[in-house]
Amino acid sequence: MALGADPKAVPSSLFLFLPLSVITSREQLHYLMEPTSRNEIAFISGPTDTGPDESYFHTHYVPQINHAIEHNHRFVIGPIPTGVDANALTYLLAYPVSPGRVTIFVTETENGMWGAHFRSFGVNVQVVDGQMSRDRDAALTGASTYDILRVRTKKEAKAFYGPLWRDGYVTNTERNWKRRRGIAEGEVIGEETINRDMTTPAREAEN
């Protein structure tokens, strides 16, 4: 599909780089005319299990998401039907945030499994090259301007996962944080350091 054909088929971040010759809709032109704050795009990521009452999500993610919503930011998330991905989509649409401000990134396989389901909500669905979750997450980082994420501390992970917990395991969430900053995956960064870096509301300077 041509970039100018359907604004909902294009990741919102790409509009920033389109030549005027392919910007054909009022929606695309309106996007370019919006205040700079609306060009901020948050990549929301986190564990695939947030507990039976989703308390992990509501405690650690909702304040940051609310701040982003209030500043008219857009959102990109993964397609996992559990945990933070699912919690974030449900929360955003119930807020309500316009579906046009949300883009779900999927691999070809994920698109076959869940693409139609996501499109039924009116959100954007972006199919990425590659079949691995790392390919999808790398595309999510590239299409966004900052992260909303949190990594469980060792104490939290031990209590939550019990005998399944593995010391030194690098989660996809941690990989996302490191990728944004150009840090090698094997470099050891404490969970507290990562989480402390994420505690300040996104773009706090915008008042």
Query: Is a pLDDT exceeding 70 seen at residue 97?
Result: yes
Confidence of residue 37 (pLDDT cuts 50, 70, 90): low
**Residue that wins the pLDDT comparison between 194 and 35:** 194
The answer to whether residues 88 and 61 touch, using CB atoms and an 8 Å cutoff, is yes
Q: To the nearest whole percent, how much of the chain has pLDDT over 70? A: 77
Map out the domains of the chain as residue ranges: 1-33, 36-197
**Residue that wins the pLDDT comparison between 17 and 70:** 70
Mean pLDDT of 135-154: 94
Q: Report pLDDT for 195.
A: 85
Q: Report pLDDT for 197.
A: 81
Least confident of 10-14, 137-141, 143-147, 158-162: 10-14
The answer to whether residues 137 and 45 touch, using CB atoms and an 8 Å cutoff, is yes
Please state, as a whole number, how many other Cβ atoms lie within 10 Å of the Cβ of residue 69: 17
CATH of domain 36-197: 3.40.50
Query: Quick one: DSSP state of residue 42?
Result: E
Residues 6+ apart with CB under 8 A from 68: 40, 42, 75, 148, 202, 203
Q: Report pLDDT for 203.
A: 47
**Residue that wins the pLDDT comparison between 19 and 71:** 71
Q: Report pLDDT for 107.
A: 97
pLDDT digits (tens, 9 = 90+) for 72-88: 999 999 999 999 999 99
- Single pTM value for the model: 0.76
Mean pLDDT of 162-191: 86
Q: How many angstroms separate the CA atoms of 134 and 111, rounded?
A: 16
**Tokens matching residue 3:** 């970039």
Mean pLDDT of 28-35: 39
**Residue that wins the pLDDT comparison between 157 and 135:** 135
**Residue that wins the pLDDT comparison between 205 and 174:** 174
